[in-house]
Amino acid sequence: MPRIGQFKQPDGDRLSDRVAIALLTRTYPPELVDRAVTESGSSGRRQRLLPPRLVVYFVLAMCLFVDKGYQEVARMLTQGLSWAGLGAEPSQVPTAAAISRARVKLGAAPLKALFEQAVKSSGVELTTDESYGRRRLLMVDDMTFDVPDSKENVMCFGSSKARGVGPSELPQVHVMALVEYATRAIVHAAAGPSANVADSMPAEDLFTALRPTDLLVADHALVHTAQWAAAVARGADLLCPVGPEVALPIGRELPDGSHLSDLADASGNHLTAGHSRVRVISYTGGRSARLERHRLITSIVDHETAPAAELAALYSDRCEAESPLRDLKTRQMGRIETLRSRTPECVEQEIWGHLLVHHAIGPLLPTAPGSRTSDEWHGRLFR
C-alpha cells in the first residue's frame, strides 16, 4: 500500500524497463534508425500504428525482453518511448498478428544496416591499438540457435537431428561473427543454415567484411580452401589450426621451426592466384596439465615479421577468449533457448536485433567468471 502522495505503478510497469528502452533509444536514436530504414529501401507506405521506425524499436525490445509476448513487449515499448520523450502512448496496442505482419514487411535489411552504422559510428572497426604489427587482430566466433519448426524454417535451415549435428529436433541457424581481440566487440556477422562448420555458408559472407592488414585468428579449422582463397584475396591474413588429415607437404624449412607448404583442395589441386602458399607451425601446448600437439597454418609466410612462437601464442590466447555469442546466448537470452521467428527472413531480423541489443548493453554486463577483462587481454596480448 503506497503512502499518501505516492503513486503505485501498475503490475509489470517498472522503472527499470523504461530505462532499458531509453538505453536502446540513446544508443540508436531515431535519426539513425530512420537512416537505416531509408538506406535499406524499407520505408514504404507507413502504417498508423506500426511505422518502420517503431517496428525496428519493437524488434530491439523483443530481443531485450525475451520472455514477454508480442503485445506485452509493444506495451512496454510504447511506455518506454513515452517516458523517454519520443512519443505519446497510443490509445491501443497493436495485435500480435499485426506486429507479425509488420515484422515481415520490414524485413532484415534495416536491422543489418543499423548494426553496420552503429559499429561505424562507435569507432569499433577503426580501432588500431589492438593490433599485431600493423595488422588489426580479429577472431571468429560462432554459435547455433534453435528456431521454431515452421515449414519455412525447416525448408531453409533443415532438421538438425536429420543432419546429426545436435540433439535438438528443431531447425538451427548458424551465426558467425568477426570479433576484435581486446575489446570483444562484434564488428560483423553472418547467418545461415547450421551445418558442418567448415562447409558453413556464413563463413563466405563473413569474409566479405575483411580488409587488407586484418589478421583473422580462428580457434578451429573453419576454412575450406575456397574460403581461404576468398579471404586472402581481400588482402587479409589468416591463422587457424588444421587436423592431421590435411596433407601439407614439407617445403622449405625456416629458422623459427616453421616450414612452407601448399594448400590444396579436396581433389589435390593447389589453389590459384598465389593463394595456396602457406606456412605451417607446429607447437606443443594446452590449457590443462596435459599438453597437446597443435598444427597451425598461416598465410603470413615471412617468419621474420611474424615468428612462429608469437603466432602460436596468439592462437593459444584465442582459445582462452570469452565468446561474445555464447555470452549473448547464455546471459542475454537467459533461459530462452529458441528464437521466436517462424520465417527465415524474420530469423535473420531477430539475430540482428540480438546483436544490436548486445552492442548496446554489452559494456554493462559483468565479466563472466573466469574470463579476462579488456585490460588483462591488452596487457597479455599487446605488451
352 pLDDT more than 90: yes
Residue-by-residue DSSP string for 130-154: SEETTEEEEEEEEEEEE----HHHH
Mean pLDDT for 215-226 is 73
Residue 333: how many other CB atoms lie within 10 Å: 19
pTM of the predicted model as reported, rounded to 2 decimal places:
0.82
What's the confidence (pLDDT) of residue 6?
37
| pLDDT tens column, 232-262 | 888 889 998 888 777 788 888 999 999 999 8
- What span, in angstroms and rounded, lies between the C-alpha atoms of 129 and 320? 20
Return the residue matching grid coordinates 533509444. Answer: 25
Domain boundaries, the chain: 15-106, 129-339
What's the confidence (pLDDT) of residue 85?
86
Angle at 26 between CA 25 and CA 32, to 5 degrees: 70
What's the confidence (pLDDT) of residue 269?
53
Percent of the chain with pLDDT over 90: 39
| pLDDT tens column, 78-125 | 999 998 888 766 667 899 999 999 999 999 999 999 999 998 877 654
More confident residue, 105 or 291: 105
Number of residues written out for the chain: 383
340 pLDDT more than 90: yes
Residue-by-residue DSSP string for 227-280: HHHHHHHTT-EEEEE--TTS------B-TTS-EEEE-B-TTSPBPSTT--EEEE
More confident residue, 88 or 53: 53
What's the confidence (pLDDT) of residue 1?
43
